[in-house]
Amino acid sequence: MAPLPHTRRSLLGGSLAVPAGLLLSGAFAAPAFAAPRRAPTLALSGRPNALWGTQSGEITAHSATVWTRSDRAARMYVETSPSEAFRYGVRRHGGAFLGPATDFTGTVTLRDLPPGRQIHYRIVLADPADPRRTGEPVRGTFRTTPVSRRHDVRFLWSGDLAGQGWGINPEVGGYRVFEEMRLRDPDFFLFSGDTIYADGPIQAAVPRPDGTVWRNVTSEEKSKVAETLAEFRGNFRYNLLDRNLRDFNAQVPVLAQWDDHEVRNNWYPGQRIEDPRYTVKDVDTLAGRARQAFGEYFPVTDLRGSGAEGRMYRVMRHGPLLDVFVLDMRTYRNPNSPDTQTVDPIGILGAEQLGRLKRELSRSRATWKVIAADMPLGIVVPDGATDFEAVAQGDPGAPLGRELQIAELLRHIKHQRITGTVWLTADVHYTAANHYAPERAAFTDFAPFWEFVSGPIGAGAFPAGRLDATFGARTEYVQSASVANMSPVENPPYYGEVDIDGDGGELTVRLRQQGGRVLLTKTLRPGRVGQS
């Protein structure tokens, strides 16, 4: 592995402790073994323990939400301090009950925090019947949002984890890319959808084209497609069996969105399932269960609880330099089709989400407005022989179908003189930089912009897709697999990095690949459009 450059801030010393009950014996020492490994059954100790680690999210200047899961019913308390050793300034928060209604997961919102500071926290789980009986504390840290423009900002993004049968493989060190990303010391991680593959069972052994065998850790819930709420929950727990991911979550806040594989491939509302693997044929039933599990396993307070009716789309404001607009391109879309209609009020976002996005972009005063899209704009993503899954459908002419809604949004951005928009996406399992310009386009009433693509973070890699010319897309850089579904060993994971300089405001995007390689560096200047 190539050496990583020094990070701009000091890092936590060593890995955060996790109870031994969850450590997969030898999983990350990469020993040789003959038999496939199954996730261990966790023995209850008599005291509640947070064996699945911790996560933080919803970070603001003065608040944050922290998450954990207990191995039994418990009360969740969080202690915070500006000192990693908790020598001073210790405060206690919470008392949330973790029980079976939320699969023993829970969150506590921390308030009255100082802005732009490193906050250390430890979670203590207590027996509800006897508060003196507590488990081993689990530690984490995060930085609150700055209020000054002089603070640099760094975040990472990627998507697509445990897809196409490539799960946690102890022989290659598990999800090693998360340890590499942790060492980049970002302010947060934008998890750009396909956070699980609920429709992708994990087998113990997967033959590779070169004759070797990829060996996965397995679990009962990952042995079939997810249909019950318990199976969706088990898909999220599966990824947390990986120590690299748990250590990453303890240091790096997550901003998560969903795409299709949280439910099933290429789903849309109202779809009837023909796949014989499913006994539940109504995709809306599956989506409701998936949404609830998503809200239980990420620190997103608006989505917690039975039914989880809150909005997946939202805005994260990260100080004066950055607003992130997280889209939901699943819940409100119309059915996949040839997508050639000349009138389309629903599109891929739905009318309500599009209206809210336009209003929030107009009121944003951040230097940079990152639009986090779980699907790309100009890359053609087919769904079968005649239908299309994303925005583009390959017709290079005037906008049709879902393109009409995107044209409306791009026109709004131009006419409202909204500067600093950058699109980030994943989904297509390769990495690329696409530039959109009206002089190359059939639709011309928009200002030029960039779309950067990353992923997969831990799934099969695929060849690059073709571009649609309606919005003048041109690929400035691409790296992809030579054949479909290359393993993470043959084609290591991709992730993207964004740095915003606090002095000059420049935004620099780096497309990265596991192993420390920087594939592309692109710097954009604030307040300018059409940068090529």
Span 439-452, pLDDT tens digits: 999 999 999 999 99
Query: Which percentage of the chain shows pLDDT scores above 90?
Result: 86
Mean pLDDT of the 471-475 span: 98
At residue 124, does pLDDT exceed 70?
A: yes
Q: What is the pLDDT of residue 529?
A: 56
pLDDT at 283 over 50: yes
b/e 285-318 (16+ beta carbons within 10 angstroms → b):
ebbbbbbbbbbbbbbbbebbeeebeeebbbbbbb
Dihedral over alpha carbons 367, 456, 336, 292 (to 10 degrees): -80
Residue keyed to tokens 């100790």? 45
| pLDDT value at 15 more than 60 | no
Closest CA to 493 of 517, 467, 520: 517
Local confidence band at 301 (pLDDT 50, 70, 90 cut-offs): confident
Choice between 293 and 40, residue whose per-residue pLDDT is larger: 293
Residue entry with tokens 């120590």? 243
Reported as a single tens digit per residue, the pLDDT across 192-221 is 999 999 999 999 999 998 999 999 999 999
Mean pLDDT of the chain: 91
Residue 362 DSSP code: H
In tens, the pLDDT along 308-320 reads 467 899 999 999 9
Residue 530, by phi and psi: left (phi above 0), alpha (psi -120 to 50) or beta? left
How does residue 45 score in pLDDT terms, banded at 50, 70 and 90? low
Residue with more model confidence, 34 or 227:
227
Average of pLDDT values for 504-515? 97
Are the C-beta atoms of residues 21 and 43 closer than 8 Å to each other? yes
- Which pLDDT belongs to residue 303? 74
Q: Is 422 helix (H, G, I), strand (E, B) or coil?
A: strand
pLDDT of 335: 98
Residue 149 — pLDDT band, cuts 50, 70, 90? confident
Alpha helices in 77-146 (DSSP H): none
Residue 465 has pLDDT above 80, yes or no: yes
Q: Which domains does the chain have, with CATH numbers?
A: 46-143 (2.60.40.380), 153-524 (3.60.21.70)
Exposure letters 108-127 (e unless 16+ CB within 10 A, then b): bebeebeeeeebbbbbbbbb
Which pLDDT tens digit goes with each residue over 382-414?
999 999 999 999 999 999 999 999 999 999 999
Q: Inform me whether the pLDDT recorded for 2 exceeds 60.
A: no
Residue 531 has a pLDDT of 61
Helix locations, 89-228, DSSP H: 176-182
What is the reported pLDDT for 29? 32
How confident is residue 229, by pLDDT bands cut at 50, 70 and 90?
A: very high
Place of tokens 């396909």: 194
Instruction: Output the pLDDT for position 320.
Output: 96
Q: What is the pLDDT of residue 528?
A: 65
Position 39 pLDDT exceeds 60: no
pTM: 0.91
pLDDT score of 343 more than 60: yes
Give the pLDDT mean for 92-109: 94
Give the pLDDT score at 527: 81
